[in-house]
Structure 1
Amino acid sequence: MHAKMVLVLFGTLFATQIILFVWQKRHKRSYNAATLFGMLIIPPIWAISASFTRFLIIWTIYSLITAVIVRKATRKPLDRWTPRVVYGYFLKVFKLTYGVGTAGYLGFLIAFFGFPGLLMHAEAWLEMTLNLLFYGVYFGVVTKDLADYCTDRMASTMGFVTDDGMPMKHLNKDTCGVCGETNIGCDENGVPEKQHTLPCGHSFHDYCIRGWVIVGKKQICPVCKEKVDLKQFSSTPWEKVYVMYSGFLDWCRFMVCWMPVITSIVHGINHVMGYE
């Protein structure tokens, strides 16, 4: 019986991987929407059933603040400095989740090598580090997905691209392709700011394009969707680490969102087949 249960598990994992891969390739918009919905709903439901009050409090605070930011990003007409505010918020939260996740990972390594006894009880230490790791990964993934959603909505609202990503306007060289500000050499306070020009000719504030690169890990121009190498904007060691962490979150999305669904399917199959 145990061998059959293992076959059900691996068979379900294999089948769902294929289904999710095909879904993502053919209908990426609906796949992203379903993934984001699952990320926002499944963990809180699980927390309610398990009476994890701390997670529910943190999730509620994060959701309320982020809802205000998402509202600003989807509002019409769009304020000219809204993209900078939106990217600034998501970039700061993303870096915070990186710090929390890293602390949890380092704490787990300390527990693995048997050092927590010097600080506190091993069980309490391990619980704390796993909580930190989960919070960092979960809120990091949600932040990335929400930032991607807001990016598409803002670009469409400003009229630079359609909902399908097709260019609608020709931007002059002095217009930032993210926030739409024409005085690209300065920030909102008139302070001189470094600018970047991609090979396709579109220019951006340094702050705007770094938010696009680090949070969204986009390898395309925000305006024309042309493929470009954006690694040039990750020149410092810390920014390179953030980009690597962003890729790690892409892998974790499957574990956080879809793994509970797959587990439920496996339990259902085992129950129907009488393997429990």
Structure 2
Amino acid sequence: MENHYNDPAFASAWHDGTLTNEQILELTPDQTERYQLHQQYLKEHKGHESQHELMAFILLFALFSSQFLILYWKKKHYSSYQIVSLTGLYIFPALFALYDGWPRFLTVWTLFSIVNGYVIHKASRKPLEAMTPRMVYKWYTVLYNASFVIGLTGYCMMIFVFFGFAALFNAGPGLMQAGILFLSYGLYFGVLGRDFVEICSDRMASTIGYYSKEGLPQKNLQGEICAVCGQATSHQANVATLADQPTGKPMFVDDEIHQLACKHVFHEKCIRGWCLVGKKDICPYCKEKVDLKRFKKNPWDTQQQLYLNLLDGVRYLVVWQPVIFGAVQLAYYLFGLD
């Protein structure tokens, strides 16, 4: 019988489940039982090779086509894309945390939601208080810097373990878990803050009136007025600006002034918040392109651009990947694929 296993024809027939009756009679009881189980397996999985090919095709088609659909949607109707992606980014992780039982994440997420909700409330009020834009940009700057430091710390922890340095302190598995946790928190809240501040920037600038996302602004920018906060950039303020202040004096007149290539002037803190924090590369009034390199004063700002690109990738993983794989599973179900 052992010679049969060394026979390529017998081995092929065994694999295909096509042994002849004479060959089956030569098998031992144990071999006969194993052969019958093998035949049952082949019967149950008959045609699975072609099914696997179809499943792989559906998956690849979904991954590639979704990229084009997302880019097309983002280009043609950015506002709806922004709302849907931000909603998914905000809700999906919380739902996963509730389902899997992650109390630590739910606690941090709740605290963030409370503070962020207050900031959004202030940014949405009409009329907009003069200090609100600076307060909003300050909050999201702190959030962004904190997420960057936390994410970088987590990444360094993982590298420390990867190169074996953690083994010297017997902290391998625990340090790796902490690194993954820090990196995940940094990336998630970093991209979440970046999306929220973009919406707040549009809302605040539209409320002030010198900016309109589409069409013409409500107000005509005259004199040395900052279109981000609506306040004068010098003591030569116009009457409308002075009337908004209870003391009769313009605010922020002692701040540094920044003039764009289009000759419009802004408070340094306001325009840096608009461009660097609020993700805008246009003048808030005339929408002329702004050279963001002029705002990068040190190597730290340049290095952070790599982190911003990484945040865009996180948005895809958190929001669109679950949607894509959900659509793939639905296609498998409709086609009767296991």
Matching of residue 256 in structure 1 with residue 318 in structure 2: yes
The equivalences for 1:179-198 within 5 A come to 179-183=229-233, 192-198=254-260
Structure having the higher Rg? 2
**Displacement of 1:225:** 1.6
Structure 1 length as normaliser, TM-score?
0.91
In 2, Cα distance between the equivalents of 1:93 and 1:173? 34
Match of 2:329 in 1: 267
In 2, Cα distance between the equivalents of 1:92 and 1:2? 49
* One-letter amino acid of the counterpart of residue 158, structure 1: I
Matching of residue 34 in structure 1 with residue 84 in structure 2: yes
**Displacement of 1:191:** 8.1
CA distance 1:151–1:207, change in 2 (3 Å): same
Match of 1:43 in 2: 93
Matching of residue 16 in structure 1 with residue 78 in structure 2: no
Q: Deviations over 1:140-172 (max 9, x none)?
A: 111011000000001111111234263333324
CA distance 1:118–1:195, change in 2 (3 Å): farther
Q: Tell me the number of residue pairs that the alignment of Structure 1 and Structure 2 aligns.
A: 274
| SS of corresponding position for 1:204 | strand
Match of 2:218 in 1: 168
**Displacement of 1:15:** 1.5
CA distance 1:216–1:273, change in 2 (3 Å): same
In the alignment, structure 1 segments of 5+ residues that lack a partner are: none
**Displacement of 1:67:** 0.3
The equivalences for 1:40-119 within 5 A come to 40-119=90-169
CA distance 1:274–1:106, change in 2 (3 Å): farther
**Displacement of 1:175:** 1.7
Tell whether the 8 Å contact from 2:234 to 2:253 is kept in structure 1 after alignment. Answer: no
Match of 1:127 in 2: 177
* One-letter amino acid of the counterpart of residue 159, structure 2: L
Runs of 4+ in structure 1 displaced over 4 angstroms? 188-191
Tell whether the 8 Å contact from 1:217 to 1:247 is kept in structure 2 after alignment. Answer: no
Tell whether the 8 Å contact from 2:133 to 2:229 is kept in structure 1 after alignment. Answer: yes
CA distance 1:201–1:113, change in 2 (3 Å): same
Computed over aligned residues only, the root mean square deviation of the Cα atoms, in angstroms, reads: 2.1
Q: Deviations over 1:226-267 (max 9, x none)?
A: 112121011211122233322331232111211121122223
Farther-moved stretch of structure 1 (256-265 vs 215-224): 215-224
Q: Deviations over 1:59-91 (max 9, x none)?
A: 000011000000000011110111010011111
Identity rate of aligned residues, in percent? 39
Tell which has more relative contact order, 1 or 2 (C-alpha 8 A, sep 6+). Answer: 1
In the alignment, structure 2 segments of 5+ residues that lack a partner are: 1-50, 236-249
Matching of residue 210 in structure 1 with residue 272 in structure 2: yes
Structure 2 length as normaliser, TM-score?
0.75
